[in-house]
Amino acid sequence: MQALQQSLIFIIGILLTSSLFYLILYFGFRRKLALLFLSLFCICQAAKAFFRTDGQLAMQMLSWSEDSAIQGTGFIYTLGGFFLISFLIHQFETPHKAIFLSLCAGVQIVHYLAHWSQLPLVLTIGLSISLYAFRRERLGALLSATGLLLFGLVTYLEIELVNQVGYFIGTIAFILCMTLFVGHQIREQIRMQQAALLRSSALENQLLKKSLQPHFLFNSLMSLQEWIESKPSEAAQFVQALAEEFRSVCKMSGKQLISIDEELAMCRSHLQIMSYRKRAQFELTTKGISGDEQVPPAIFHTLIENGLTHGFAERQHGQFILSKSSISKGHRYELFNDGQAPENGLATVKGTGLKYVEARLEESFPQAWQLQTKIVKGGWLVQIDIQGQK
């Protein structure tokens, strides 16, 4: 009895440590729900070891009766199975998560009330999810299936060989497989973020060169020369707008995030410059913007510049509208312009501008953003979804 208690205490320590490890990862990596569910699964397994009647830890420390310990074990066992299924569903992005989880919970409750074994049910569902992930070439599907098979095999050997801690050895084997998987996933995320940082730095240099390109300065100076002679007041306003845009570009160079007020100020300076140069009128209005939002530098400036280049070549008036709205687990920016769409639809080849925007988004919000460009009634729309922020 004492040897079994020592073994269970050691196993509880391992499981609680694993739970703390995954909880730290949950808060450190964009609060990914799969990590939280894996942490809760570890806690449930530790509690199951504590409630075991043959170990008598709960009966001695909490003065519980044997019946109470058995009831606690059954409830925790069912709850742990639910957290395991929840982890796999969220980890492999199974479609219709809420419906699937509700069905699984319902079946588990029936098994619990009927006093049927939960493990075959949980393993069957878990292996089915792993098979789904494997068929869709999801990272970690084989490791997940291997861990579940080890879990089931060692538990079976416990029953056959009367090994009192075989179930927990299987549990730890599964957690070890998942730790290898999560570690590999984190390493890939860090690698991708570093690659995005390098890519965005290179594109930022291109953007700076583009903003300071010779023909842009030449055309601006030629316009300035004409206005100095004919319209001195407009010339002074043009110089101020030009200086403000260059000052903003240089100021935000090297920053990962800036306030949206700074971004909008640069956008309006650029629109003012282009209004003077094209003898046109370009305006930018906003909806739902509080002003303290943090965005990667020059992303909306770049999108506005693209809009001017492709949609307003022959237009004397242009309207840009930037709006922000809440979506599930984040927010959405929509930049609309009433420019003319090309006859052949949207361009399929991404230019330097869009590549810069995507690289900046990946650098600041790795794998937590989505960008779409589409033709809508009356013009163009660029939609950017960012998860994890309100």
Q: What is the pTM assigned to this prediction?
A: 0.56
Paired strand residues for 324: 333
Cα dihedral 215, 218, 223, 224 in deg (nearest 10): 140
Q: Determine the Cα–Cα distance for residues 358 and 205; give it in Å rounded to an integer.
A: 15
DSSP 276-295: HHHT-EEEEEEES--S--EE
Q: Contacts for 235-242 with beta carbons within 8 Å, 24 or more apart? A: 237/272, 237/276, 238/272, 238/273, 238/276, 241/269, 241/272, 241/273, 241/276, 242/269, 242/273
Whether 16 contacts 43, CB under 8 Å: yes
Higher pLDDT, 295 or 5: 295
Q: Which of 15-29, 202-216, 285-299 has the lowest mean pLDDT?
A: 202-216
pLDDT at 214: 44
Q: One-letter amino acid identity for 183?
A: G
Q: Which of 260, 245, 350 is nearest to 299 (CA)?
A: 260
pLDDT per position as a tens digit, 311-343: 776 777 889 999 999 988 789 999 999 887 655
pLDDT per position as a tens digit, 195-214: 666 565 665 555 555 554 44
Q: Determine the Cα–Cα distance for residues 16 and 339; give it in Å rounded to an integer.
A: 59
Sequence-separated (6 or more) residues with CB below 8 Å from residue 200: 296, 356, 359, 360, 362, 363
CA–chain centroid gap for 252, Å, is 25
Residue 248, Cβ density class (10 Å: 0-12 exposed, 13-18 middle, ≥19 buried)? buried
Could you give the angle at the alpha carbon of 11 between the alpha carbons of 5 and 17, nearest 5°?
A: 135
The pLDDT confidence band at residue 162, using thresholds 50, 70 and 90, is low
pLDDT at 107: 92
The pLDDT confidence band at residue 345, using thresholds 50, 70 and 90, is very low
Q: Which of 86-90, 278-282, 295-299 has the highest mean pLDDT?
A: 86-90
Q: What tokens were used for 334?
A: 């929509």
Percentage, residues of the chain above pLDDT 90: 21
CA–chain centroid gap for 361, Å, is 11
Q: Is the pLDDT of residue 346 over 50?
A: no
Q: Is the pLDDT of residue 26 over 70?
A: yes
Give the mean pLDDT of the chain. 80
Q: Which of 21-30, 158-167, 292-301, 345-354 has the lowest mean pLDDT?
A: 345-354
Q: Which of 103, 93, 81 is nearest to 148 (CA)?
A: 81
Q: Determine the Cα–Cα distance for residues 195 and 191; give it in Å rounded to an integer.
A: 6
Higher pLDDT, 160 or 92: 92
